[in-house]
């Protein structure tokens, strides 16, 4: 629920602006935005409401201070990050909200209500996502030279592995354990190309691409982006999180090969 108290739609108080912007920044960080995007969006709206803002972005919280233009009054708050699945949709919606405020098309009252609506948007249909992810990973198999049978094997690996991931995450299972289990499950299915009678000439490609859907590419990209922009703490934390997930993925992948007796060399 939103905690911002609405008093004046046209010119909110320093306290109102601070509480709204901290909630906005926490939501944006939680859906996978880079630090530079958060800073620009927040500064854009703060300038419209005739305030100055200073913000510190950390992995689990956002520390934000807002002053009025003459620097005589200020308000500070620390907001916990709303961890959610990475969502380019929510990211784009919140960015559009900042431009609507900056352009004068949305007042403070409407901005508060719009933030609440955008963050309560239901995720995409999980079955549709499951199908599209499976097709995408099968396409990766083809991109790396896999034949039709290998693509079918990868499709099934992703279909069952990603579904396992969805179920485990729905039960609030630790994400590291989820990656390990999904990679193990997919790699076991991915060894089907080595079975006698399976008409494929690229079983190694099928096995190698069976877990590509688990690669945490966005955290890796965001860590580099934050590093370039000078947000070294966030860059390191995002890189560490991505590396840990990659390690869990690798353990599950190797475990599946060992179980099925696949030679590594």
| Portion of the chain with pLDDT greater than 90, in percent | 74
What is the residue-averaged pLDDT of the chain?
90
Rounded Cα gap, residues 156 and 150, in angstroms: 10
Bridge-based pairing state of the strands 51-57 and 61-68: antiparallel
> Can you list the positions of beta strands (E) in 153-197?
none
**Ramachandran area for residue 172 (φ above 0: left; ψ -120 to 50: alpha; else beta):** left
Of the candidate ranges 77-81, 121-125, 140-144, the one whose mean pLDDT is the lowest: 121-125
Q: Is the pLDDT of residue 75 over 90?
A: yes
pLDDT of residue 180: 97
Domain boundaries, the chain: 14-119, 126-260
Phi, psi of 261 (to 5 degrees): 70, 35
pTM score of the predicted model:
0.85
Q: How confident is residue 4, by pLDDT bands cut at 50, 70 and 90?
A: very low
Phi, psi of 151 (to 5 degrees): -65, -40
Contact 30, 91 (CB under 8 A): no
CB-facing half-sphere around the CA of 83: CA atoms within 13 A: 7
Per-residue pLDDT tens over the stretch 151-202: 999 999 999 999 999 999 989 899 999 999 999 999 999 999 998 888 889 9
Per-residue pLDDT tens over the stretch 17-48: 999 999 999 999 988 899 999 999 999 999 99
pLDDT of residue 73: 87
pLDDT of residue 10: 63
Rounded Cα gap, residues 233 and 217, in angstroms: 19
Contacts of 175-181 with CB under 8 Å at 24 or more apart are 175/245, 176/244, 176/245, 176/248, 177/248, 179/214, 179/245, 179/248, 179/249, 179/252, 180/248, 180/249, 180/251, 180/252, 180/255, 181/252
Burial of 22 per CB tally in 10 Å (0-12, 13-18, 19+):
buried
Per-residue pLDDT tens over the stretch 212-226: 999 999 999 999 999
Q: Which has the higher per-residue pLDDT, 77 or 122?
A: 77
Q: How confident is residue 264, by pLDDT bands cut at 50, 70 and 90?
A: low
Per-residue pLDDT tens over the stretch 179-188: 999 999 999 9
Q: Which has the higher per-residue pLDDT, 138 or 89?
A: 138
Query: What token pair was written down for 210?
Result: 């069976």
- Mean per-residue pLDDT, 119-145: 90
Q: Which has the higher per-residue pLDDT, 113 or 120?
A: 113
């Amino acid at each position: 629920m939103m905690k911002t108290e609405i008093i004046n739609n046209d010119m909110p108080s320093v306290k109102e602006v601070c509480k709204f912007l901290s909630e906005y920044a926490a939501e944006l960080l939680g859906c996978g935005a880079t630090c530079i995007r958060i800073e620009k969006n927040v500064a854009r709206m703060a300038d419209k409401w005739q305030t100055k803002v200073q913000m510190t972005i950390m992995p689990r919280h956002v520390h934000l201070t807002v002053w009025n233009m003459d620097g005589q009054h200020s308000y500070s708050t620390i907001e916990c990050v709303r961890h959610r699945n990475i969502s380019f949709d929510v990211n784009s919606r919140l960015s559009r909200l900042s431009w609507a405020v900056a352009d004068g098309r949305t007042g403070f009252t409407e901005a508060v209500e719009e933030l609440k609506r955008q963050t309560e948007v239901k995720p995409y249909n999980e079955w549709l996502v499951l199908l599209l992810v499976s097709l995408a990973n099968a396409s990766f198999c083809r991109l790396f030279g896999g034949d039709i049978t290998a693509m079918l094997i990868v499709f099934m690996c992703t279909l069952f592995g990603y579904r396992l991931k969805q179920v485990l995450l729905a039960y609030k299972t630790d994400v590291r354990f989820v990656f390990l289990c999904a990679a193990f499950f997919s790699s076991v299915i991915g060894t089907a190309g080595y079975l006698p009678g399976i008409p494929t000439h690229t079983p190694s490609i099928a096995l190698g691409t069976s877990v590509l859907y688990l690669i945490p590419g966005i955290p890796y990209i965001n860590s580099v982006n934050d590093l370039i922009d000078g947000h070294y703490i966030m860059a390191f934390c995002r890189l560490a999180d991505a590396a840990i997930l990659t390690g869990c993925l690798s353990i599950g992948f190797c475990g599946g090969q060992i179980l099925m007796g696949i030679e590594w060399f």
